[in-house]
Amino acid sequence: MSVNGFAGRVRSREKLVGYWITLDVPPVAERIARLGYDYVVLDGQHGLIGYQGLMTGLLAIDAGASIGPRPTAGLVRVEANDPTPIGRALDAGATGVIVPLIDTADDVVRAVRAAKYPPAGVRSFGPMRASLRIGPVPADSNAQTVVLAMIETPLGLKNVAEICATPGLDGVYVGPSDLGLALGARFPGDPEIEGPFEEAVELIAQTAQEAGIAAGIHTFDGDSANLRIEQGYSFATVASDLSHLEASAAAHLETARQSFPS
């Protein structure tokens, strides 16, 4: 059985807060995981992490969670909707996968089948590290790992109802940067498309709720995460290690130079 019960928490739409890791630095993942986040995501799509980094990052998350105040699950955003990266992330011990660039219900079917052992799917058996975290029995793994589909493209937004209704999907996850670009933004956070963007964000949360699945979203700070959860999202991810590192360094630099001649 899963050591953290994360799948059940997602499926019951418990309110959860997570964190995003882009750097291949296991001690960072370990320190973040000990803070009490409900989940920590390792970014295998745009992050600076290879497969070895995903495995050691998941090890670090488990180590940090073991001394933290609450259970923390390790998730992976995989590089593509393909059985190989999905299966390898789960074999390395991920409690779930976030699958990018989902356009249609058929895309969801492929993702779910890649993440599940037969007869529910086509995942090849070889749970190297996962057997220690979730168990070697395929049915247990099918039940205790989650599949989350990213809504971030024009087609994904158009087909959101069909996507949410696809059997086996545990939740959807909004990528705000790509969703904004899909709505015509010139750059992520473009204020000119704020209205349509907020309408889309609300639609996705409502559609997921009506389908009985979880809805998550990436945010850029704790205030924004809290706002999205108040709006109906069941889970929200806060920023990332790289963005926080840069912002903190810039703030300290500005403070240190306050007494310098202008």
Which region holds residue 92: left if phi is over 0, alpha if psi is between -120 and 50, else beta?
alpha
Average pLDDT on 213-242 reads 97
Please provide the average confidence, as pLDDT, over all residues in the chain: 96
| Separation CA 198–CA 223 (nearest Å) | 16
Average pLDDT on 176-192 reads 96
Contact 90, 115 (CB under 8 A): yes
State the pLDDT at residue 132: 86
Choosing from 46, 218, 244, 252, the catalytic residue is: 46
State the pLDDT at residue 134: 83
**pLDDT (tens digit, 9 = 90+) per residue, 84-111?**
999 999 999 999 999 999 999 999 999 9
| Separation CA 9–CA 67 (nearest Å) | 20
| Separation CA 196–CA 183 (nearest Å) | 7
Q: Is the pLDDT of residue 203 over 70?
A: yes
- Work out the widest C-alpha separation in the chain, in whole angstroms: 70
Contact 235, 15 (CB under 8 A): yes
| Separation CA 202–CA 195 (nearest Å) | 11
Q: Is the pLDDT of residue 66 over 50?
A: yes
Is-catalytic flag, 244? no
Burial class (CB in 10 A: 0-12, 13-18, 19+), 12: exposed
Q: What percent of the chain has pLDDT over 90?
A: 94
Q: Is the pLDDT of residue 182 over 90?
A: yes
Average pLDDT on 194-219 reads 98
| Separation CA 118–CA 101 (nearest Å) | 25
**pLDDT (tens digit, 9 = 90+) per residue, 118-171?**
999 999 999 989 988 887 899 999 999 999 999 999 999 999 999 999 999 999
Q: Give residue 197's pLDDT band: very low, low, confident or very high (50, 70, 90).
A: very high
State the pLDDT at residue 1: 36
State the pLDDT at residue 3: 59
State the pLDDT at residue 147: 98
